Structure 1
Amino acid sequence: MIKENSCHKMALVLGATGGIGGAIASALLRHGWHVRGLARDVSKASRKGPNAIEWIEGDAMRSGDVARAADGVSVLVHAVNPAGYRNWDRLVLPMIDNSIAAARDTRGAGGSARVVLPGTIYNYDAATTPVVDGQTEQRANSAKGKIRIALEQRLKNAAPEVPSLILRAGDFFGPGARSSWFSQLMVKSGKPVAKLVNPARGGGHSWAYLPDLAESFALLLEERERLSDFEVLQFEGLYDERGQDLIDGLSRVVGRALPVRRFPWWALKAVAPFGGFAREAAEIAPHWHHPLRLDNSRLVQLLGAEPRTKLDDALRATLKDMGCLKYRP
């Protein structure tokens, strides 16, 4: 068995200019890691991503670029998606193949690097899966969910030669979470909150506050010797059992009751056959119509407790980052 390279704190974060990648990079920096990032435009990335990252020019779609950036690291965070979330069927699996190959090639620095992946709930059929733990069968209904299953299988197949850590979470909200249901649908960025759009039907939705999720990644990587070669964990985050907790919290933060409009799933379904966002969103509609909770028992076993910011504080920080509180005294 090839030894994992866990003797030093150097990490490559692919996707460090994005929401989850940037949050993980920031958390690792706070925990004393040297963090590298890979970017096609280093100048732009240095302005957009967290400070103190060592930027290397390259593309996650080019195996040689990833291998060069990963030289000597002990952790490779795979938090990258195809540009504009397009061409998933052609690009997602080659990208993880590049990361696995690069992690394997770092063995000269003392062992293979551990690949770290933010996991999604879309690997599961929400209509038949009310609770997800490490043993829950993955059965996706959406095209992207099926690709994510294949991606995780790649990591499982690579172990133990290349160890990995998957931490699964629900929908993101928080500073930097730009491509999320919260920031693109529920609340309109750049102006004081006047109304809310609620996509939930029947409650039971899982949310993840990015800083808490990123802190969990960093804390878990302090416990690498206790992780299995293919470690799959669940981040519980905020389980909104009624589908109303975020709505109530936002009203408290802005200081008044907010009008709430229900998202018109029926209209989305009508235009889904034409493709694009409508089709992809319609595919994951069951995750808003059925409860799905993430069982974090193994995470708590490793860390003692899951990082958890108070809801109102998390929402206040999120709205401030979105420019929705700047007019408040």
Structure 2
Amino acid sequence: MSDMNRQPVALVLGATGGVGGAVARALNDRGYHIRALNRDPSRLDGRLAHYEWIKGDAMRREDVENAARGAELIFHGVNPPGYKDWDRLVMPMLENTIAAARLANARILFPGTIYNFGRDVFPYPNEESPQNPHTRKGLIRVAVEERLREAAFDGTQVILVRAGDFFGGGAAANSWFGQMVKAHVPLTRITNPATPGVGHQWAYLPDLAETFAALNDRAGQLPKFANYHFEGFYDADGMQMVEAIRRISGDPKLKVSRFPWFAVPLLAPFMTLMREVLEVRYLWKEAMHMKNDKLVAVLGHEPRTPLDTAVRTALEEIGVTVPRAAAPAMLKGPVSRA
């Protein structure tokens, strides 16, 4: 029997994306053989060549079922790019994953979002808070989670982790962090989407991926539907991320501009992305802070890279030149509530 056949197999849907790529790396580091689905594997970056790539489409059930054969878990990290056709594509892709997981007797790992929550549960929603979203995207995500609960009730284990806005670890260039600085040019200005004095929640993708991997290690001790909140970095006044970027840049007076929210309603009728941005504007105007008590009760701590290390790495990944510093370090002890 080959080494590959002795390894547990993880099917990662969305392995070329931010969260999918980060989770694939975390599982690979734990000894998993990573299998991934892509419509055209021949065009992929050579750095991903050590994964087993299967040609296929997440919208085709037979492709997903074929890729999932022999897999212990499926990470569902695939979404329509740019929020295009969410209402038409999200649920069919999820149904394909559920069908494949049932056929392979595999568990599902799923990244939840904050869009599920409305203002009625602010500022401290917990894992069991009512989900009354204000947006179309939020309504879709509520339907997604309801379907995952049904799948868990029918016997397919689901591990769901909800987190704030992604940064670092391969997060998309059009992420909110990517909007704060310009890639591949000298760092001369920060554009801050936050409202001064209003908190905002961020998730460093390598830490979130490590959290998924650690929960997966304990899958046998978890309920069929295991849902957790990832605290990550909570910017309590909307300025701490800005100050971290300033510290990394070496310029404590680096210019800060407000995000041009005034332009978003003007562009929304013509651009799908701007329409979606407008819908989640409330998450930048009102504080929401997900605590991680339930997660810490299971893991003992939440993986957390020191903020400046995480920000430095995130900046370097998008091509921003910053002063040299020590390599990233992972915090392994108990989580601070400071």
Q: Same fold (TM over 0.5)?
A: yes
Q: Is the CA contact (8 Å cut-off) linking 1:114 and 1:162 kept in structure 2?
A: yes
In the alignment, structure 2 segments of 5+ residues that lack a partner are 1-5, 326-338
**Which of 214, 217, 241 does residue 219 from structure 1 map onto?**
214
**Which of 252, 255, 259 does residue 259 from structure 1 map onto?**
255
SS at match of 1:122: helix
Q: Deviations over 1:172-200 (max 9, x none)?
A: 000311141111x1111111211011111
Q: Deviations over 1:243-285 (max 9, x none)?
A: 1111000000010021111112233134434452221111000
Q: Distance in 1 between matches of 2:81 and 2:164?
A: 22
**Which of 37, 40, 64 does residue 62 from structure 2 map onto?**
64
Select the structure with the greater relative contact order (CA < 8 A; seq sep ≥ 6): 1
Q: Distance in 2 between matches of 1:259 and 1:9?
A: 49
Q: Distance in 2 between matches of 1:200 and 1:283?
A: 15
Q: Deviations over 1:191-232 (max 9, x none)?
A: 121101111113210000011000111111100011110111
Amino acid at match of 2:158: S
- Name the residue aligned to 1:323: 319
Judging changes above 3 Å, is the alpha-carbon distance between structure 1 residues 209 and 51 closer, same or farther for their aligned structure 2 residues?
Answer: farther
Quote the RMSD (CA, aligned, Å): 1.8
Give yes or no for the alignment of 1:80 onto 2:78.
Answer: yes
Q: Distance in 1 between matches of 2:263 and 2:169?
A: 30
Q: Distance in 2 between matches of 1:53 and 1:10?
A: 11
> What is the 5 A alignment of 1:7-22?
9-22=8-21
Give yes or no for the alignment of 1:153 onto 2:162.
Answer: no
SS at match of 2:161: strand
Q: Distance in 2 between matches of 1:166 and 1:177?
A: 19
Q: Distance in 1 between matches of 2:269 and 2:43?
A: 37
Identity %: 47
Amino acid at match of 1:173: F
- Name the residue aligned to 1:294: 290
> What is the 5 A alignment of 1:92-171?
92-106=90-104, 112-126=105-119, 128-160=121-153, 161-171=155-165
Q: Distance in 2 between matches of 1:221 and 1:128?
A: 29
SS at match of 2:44: helix
TM-score, with length taken from structure 1:
0.92
> What is the 5 A alignment of 1:192-203?
192-201=186-195, 202-203=197-198
- Name the residue aligned to 2:180: 186
Judging changes above 3 Å, is the alpha-carbon distance between structure 1 residues 211 and 93 closer, same or farther for their aligned structure 2 residues?
Answer: same
Q: Is the CA contact (8 Å cut-off) linking 1:38 and 1:57 kept in structure 2?
A: yes
Q: Distance in 1 between matches of 2:229 and 2:29?
A: 23
Q: What count of residue pairs does the alignment treat as equivalent?
A: 316
Q: Distance in 1 between matches of 2:187 and 2:209?
A: 27
Q: Distance in 1 between matches of 2:265 and 2:82?
A: 22
Q: Distance in 2 between matches of 1:222 and 1:115?
A: 13
Q: Distance in 2 between matches of 1:150 and 1:116?
A: 17
In the alignment, structure 1 segments of 5+ residues that lack a partner are 1-6, 107-111
Q: Deviations over 1:22-76 (max 9, x none)?
A: 000000001111110000111223536x452111110000000000000011110
Q: Is the CA contact (8 Å cut-off) linking 1:216 and 1:306 kept in structure 2?
A: yes
SS at match of 2:228: strand
- Name the residue aligned to 1:237: 232
Q: Distance in 1 between matches of 2:11 and 2:275?
A: 34
SS at match of 2:166: strand
SS at match of 2:315: helix
